[in-house]
Amino acid sequence: MDSQEQYHISPEMFARRYRRGELDGIVLDVREPEEWEVDHLDGAVLIPLQHLPNRLHELERDKTVYVLCAHGIRSIYAANYLLNQGFRRVVNVDDGLAAVRLYLDADTD
């Protein structure tokens, strides 16, 4: 990543791009299955943070990986781990699904 801007995306921008179908990669949700059952984004891939090392092979390295958790803490750990494992296009979704959901549930675009 060349800059912090490439490494992070605001929940508002992520929600806008998600709603419009403009995300050019994989949405990786690193929460636990119990959290996923309550709420998740259609099309997202669930790999809980603790299972990520053993499931890296499930992610395509040539695609952008948008990393998401509940509030943005676990996703930072996951994003840094992916970068350290050689993934080049990793974007942390700031403030997690809780913040993204506020923008997705709003009527404005």
User: What type of residue is 75?
Assistant: S
Residue spans of the domains in the chain: they are 4-105
pLDDT digits (tens, 9 = 90+) for 78-92: 999 999 999 999 999
Contact 64, 89 (CB under 8 A): yes
Would the pLDDT of 4 be above 60? no
pLDDT digits (tens, 9 = 90+) for 20-66: 999 999 999 999 999 999 999 999 999 999 999 999 999 999 999 99
pTM higher than the cut 0.85: yes
Cα torsion through 6, 89, 69, 97, rounded to 10: 50
pLDDT digits (tens, 9 = 90+) for 60-73: 999 999 999 999 99
- Give residue 2's pLDDT: 41
- Give residue 94's pLDDT: 97
Query: Which of 69, 78, 91, 93 is the catalytic position?
Result: 69
The distance from CA 53 to its chain's CA centroid, rounded to whole angstroms, is: 16
- Give residue 107's pLDDT: 61
The CATH H-level superfamily of 4-105 is Rhodanese-like domain (3.40.250.10)
Active site residue 68: no
